[in-house]
Amino acid sequence: MRVVSGIQPTGNLHLGNLLGAILRWVKMQDEAPCFFFLADLHSLSDHVEPDVRRANIREMAAALIASGIDPAKSVLFAQSAVPAHAELCWLLNGTARMGWLSRMTQWKDKSGKNKEGASVALFDYPVLQAADILLYLPTHVPVGEDQKQHIELTRDIAIKFNTDYDIDLFVPPEPYIGGGTAARVMSLRDGKVKMSKSDPSDMSRINLVDDDDTIASKIRKARTDPDPLPSELDGLAERSEARNLVGIMAAATGRTEADVLRDYAGQGFGAFKPALADALVALLSPIRTRLIELRADPAALDARLAEGAERAREAAAPTLAAAKDAVGLI
């Protein structure tokens, strides 16, 4: 089994990134060979200043390593350092269909009513994502609920390419649930909205670089309701803010939400919030310390990414060569 996954280097990483993907990746390292890449080519679908993009790439690399991604165990690299990603994307553009891409939820949501003004990169994003995956012939891809459609498209592209060229090259990947369940972390100010760096309120999120006092303050001021915690999950069905904090506690401490409720049933948030703050401080403090250390040596980060890119290029070369041969390129 082989696993591949990527994450956009957006900067200003927060608890949602950590609990939603990164810690899951850390666990996967002991379950299968892993290729983890910084999706800097995907970031071109939006305008970002070059210096900001470079800083974001290094920041994401530092955050992944600080959180436990081991470049000696996993292949960690920047997507753009492996040209085969872009090359295979172009080959797969001959297989993918406009109708498939126009139905993608991400395209509809991000382009909105201004489809004529949206970038081609945004429209073609799913084909590059398919190339990212298929290039390494993985059997499984870790995804959240919002990415399952992309895996389905990748499977369609893989099957059509194999059929069109009468070749058994690409393995239609399966969604991977290893590494534990990804937490869907919501805003501390609105339990119906995902935690995001783009939220204008810094109080809506826990940043990975927040100090211990700031973490405690944000949790203390997080929106909740006056009712005590129930003993069963059904009791949180209509309480989005309460459900969010319980989910964060579960993910931060390696427990299930049901376990958390058994421990805190009948208690109010006056007791629960300090316990949650302590759990987050215990989780984030060593990551923050390591992140700050790694930031101080960008040359060392670049060297680690370069080593990973070399390994990724070696792994990708046979697949790209086979795909080019299949379509008749010399």
**Could you confirm whether 194 is annotated as catalytic?**
yes
Among 108, 115, 160, 197, the active-site one is: 197
* CA triple 41-47-49, angle to 5 deg: 90
Q: How many helices (H) does the chain have, and how many strands (E)?
A: 13, 5
- At 135, is the secondary structure helix, strand, or coil? coil
Burial string for 148-164 (b: 16+ CB within 10 Å, else e) reads eebbebbbbbbebbbee
For residues 62 and 294, the answer to whether their CB atoms sit within 8 Å is yes
For residues 270 and 280, the answer to whether their CB atoms sit within 8 Å is no
Read off the tokens for 226.
């006056």
Read off the tokens for 41.
């080519």
Burial string for 303-315 (b: 16+ CB within 10 Å, else e) reads ebbeebbebbeeb
Among 73, 160, 194, 324, the active-site one is: 194
**Could you confirm whether 108 is annotated as catalytic?**
no
**Could you confirm whether 113 is annotated as catalytic?**
no
DSSP string, 234-291: GGGTT-HHHHHHHHHHHHHHT--HHHHHHHHTT--HHHHHHHHHHHHHHHHHHHHHHH
Among 73, 110, 160, 324, the active-site one is: 110
Catalytic site residues?
A: 110, 194, 197
